[in-house]
Amino acid sequence: MTISPESIPRFSAEEALAAGLDRYGICGPASALPSERDQNFLIRDAERGKLVLKIANREDSPELLDLQHQAMRRVSESCRDLQVQAILAARDGTDFASIHSASGVRHWVRVFEWIEGTVLAQCHPRGAAMMESIGTCMAQVDVALRDFSHPAMHRVLQWDLRHAGLARDKVALLHDPWRSRAQRAFDDWETIDWRSLRHGVIHGDANDYNVLTARGRMCGLLDFGDIVHSATACELAIALAYAMLHEHDPLGAAFTLIRAYHRHNPLTEPEQQVLFPLVIARLSASLCYSAHNRARNPHDPYQVVTEGAARALLDRLDGSAQKASAVVRAACAVRRNRSP
């Protein structure tokens, strides 16, 4: 399902602060943080330091939020070298509280601890160590969630690559050559045999604003809002799509990232074959939704933050299907890391 503008919370910083004080006992200067479907505020509490107050989309149920929280805890416990935001309990001991809009609509409120680091989007150049760390971390996340199950994990989500076709009705908003390229990408996506791929719960949104870095390596993973039960290969495809942005040699960067991922969570042959079609589908869907978001909200630059870089990367990858397939095969021709 695509995001309805009416479902996005529209609270002021003062209202968010009032909810934080009343439900969590936190207070301090607040500043807005970007988000596509929620509202996020950075609060600098004198005693607890930096905190993120997150007001959820109207459509997000308590069950869905619990899915996110349980997955975050699982990853935090399993991936010792990867930071995930800790969840701050409300005054009543629960994971979330609620806030009502002026029209009476209820939204759920959560507070997370802040993680220090630099988002990947601000890291240039990135280098091989960065790509290796992203591949390693995302593989470890998928291994941690391999046997994870939750009643809310099955849902229809516009950013889930299993449902990339939802973006097709936005293709008409693009101009050629992007329209024809996107149409071709969705045609290739339709040929994927999903039954041949492993499935499990995935984070689903390792974009360059959700990957945190420090000292030239990935150190944290933000925003579990797109968590979903899907094909495991979609996780790697999404991470690749954003890690390759701005790279002078995107396929060289992809080689390093895929090789690292494969060492810790070996890709099957069918997964290797669909990896780059999934990457191209993700970039194409991003262009479609950027065009849609611009028409819907032309004054919010965050809604189209990836558009220019996605177009540049699609330009570089255009006509490189055979080379990309060779890169995947070469990256996967390594021995599995046998360390625990």
| Residues 223-241, mean pLDDT to the nearest whole number | 97
Q: Which residues contact 98 (CB under 8 A, 6 or more apart)?
A: 106, 107, 108, 109
Summarize the confidence of residues 309-332 as an average pLDDT: 95
What does the block give as tokens for 205?
A: 């949104």
Domains of the chain: 5-113 (3.30.200.20), 118-331 (3.90.1200.10)
* CA distance linking residue 130 with residue 213, whole number of Å: 8
Could you tell me what percent of the chain has a pLDDT over 70? 95
Average confidence (pLDDT) over 90-110: 94
* pLDDT for 165: 94
Q: CB neighbours of 114 closer than 8 A, spacing ≥ 6?
A: 42, 49, 50, 51, 52, 85
Whether residue 337 has pLDDT greater than 60? no
- Is-contact 132 253, C-beta < 8 A? no
Q: Is the pLDDT of residue 334 over 80?
A: no
What 8-state DSSP symbol labels residue 42?
E
Q: Could you tell me if 306 and 286 are in contact, meaning their C-beta atoms sit under 8 angstroms apart?
A: yes
Helix (H, G, I), strand (E, B), or coil: what is residue 226? coil
CA distance 76 to 83: 7
Torsional class of 148: left (φ above 0), alpha (ψ -120 to 50), beta (otherwise): beta
pLDDT of 339 reads 41
This prediction's pTM: 0.93
Tell me what the pLDDT averaged over the chain comes to. Answer: 93
pLDDT in tens, 183-218: 999 999 999 999 999 999 999 999 999 999 999 999
DSSP for 258-285? HHHHHHHSPPPHHHHHHHHHHHHHHHHH
Q: What percent of the chain has pLDDT over 90?
A: 87
Q: Which amino acid is at 115?
A: I
pLDDT classification of 35: cutoffs 50, 70, 90: confident
Q: Identify the bridge partners of residue 99 per DSSP, sorted by sequence position.
A: 107
What average pLDDT does this structure show over 128-150?
98
